[in-house]
Amino acid sequence: MRAFIFPGQGSQSVGMGKALADASVHAREVFQEVDDALGQSLSRLMAEGPADELTLTENAQPAIMANAIATLRVLEREGGLRLAEKCDYVAGHSLGEYTALCAAGALDLATTARLLRTRGLAMQEAVPVGEGAMAALLGCDLELARVIAGAAVDAILAEGGAELICTVANDNDLSQVVISGHRAAIERAVPLAKELGAKRAVLLPVSAPFHCPLMQPAAEVMENALLGADLRAPFVSVFCNVDAAAIASPGMIRVALVQQVTGMVRWRESVLAMTAAGVTEFVEFGGKVLGPMVKRIAPDVTVTGVVSMDDIEALSRTL
């Protein structure tokens, strides 16, 4: 069995998609449709930068989606393949879940782009700049990450400070967990992490504390946006981040996407659930970020990253 997977924020880079667009009219069609949906030349920003503008959440999220969908579209159109016939499940990391839903026909491309623009803006505006932060805990599993997060909050309370939020945002794999919350709590957690057994902790260069309760205003925005979106049953089931379970009902997908804004990305559990369901092959479109995580979680599976035309042609020969 095979799963197609799609990366999340952080996988953007200036130049993304340019070589693919130069080589394929089908990729250019994807980028043009996204540009038209957003009313801006996002494809030019992707190709030429500047990097700081591309990294803005409102731009990075639709850009990463467009790049991944373009890669898939080229495979389907030039390879004469259909996703529904070549994979059994789809999944994506955070915003990648929207890409997965688009790939599986639950959302059309223009709607996906607009939803991700709305999501990016809402997440950016949910918390004033400087009040939130995120940190990656390396050499750390979920259980230890929760201990570290709790210790940071307790330390601040013991000093007479207010109770702040510090919680697990992404359970990526067995050795990489991301925490999110108030900046003061995250900054307290960083030195505590090594004391409590993590290999190291690194503050992430993000503009907001994603996937934590501070994102509740953004969740409310997305609830309204998704109510008005044309969401259909996907061709194949999607493993959602918040439950690490396969769902196909439009109603359940809407609920999961709203919960995802404030909830933990259960990527490790999702990969384990997919392998338990029989998946032995993972194909990542538009990046090579999730593949190493998948291999650390499930060493026996096959992982393929698809970014370039050479990657697409190689995959087409094996499918």
Please tell me the chain's helix, strand, coil percentages from 3-state DSSP, rounded to the nearest 5: 55, 15, 30
- Residue 130 in 3-state DSSP? coil
Residues in the chain: 319
The angle formed by the CA atoms of residues 269, 273 and 278, to the nearest 5 degrees, is 150
Instruction: Bin 115: left if φ > 0, else alpha if -120 < ψ < 50, else beta.
Output: alpha
> Rounded to whole angstroms, what are the CA distances from 110 to 66, 67, 234, 291?
10, 14, 16, 27
Q: How far apart are CA 237 and CA 3, in angstroms?
A: 10
The active-site residue out of 11, 93, 207, 211 is 211
Choice among 11, 24, 43, 94 that is catalytic: 94
**Torsion angle in degrees (nearest 10) through CA of 20, 21, 22, 23:** 50
Per-residue tokens: 220: 């409310």
Q: Which residues pair with 15 in a beta bridge?
A: none
Which residues are registered as beta bridge partners of 256?
none
Tokens of 288: 């090579």
- Cα distances from 294 to residues 68, 92, 94, 297, in angstroms, run 18, 12, 15, 5
Active site residue 211: yes
Residue 131, amino acid: E
Q: How far apart are CA 208 and CA 206, in angstroms?
A: 6
**Tokens matching residue 215:** 């994102």
Is 182 catalytic? The answer is no
Active site residues per annotation? 94, 211
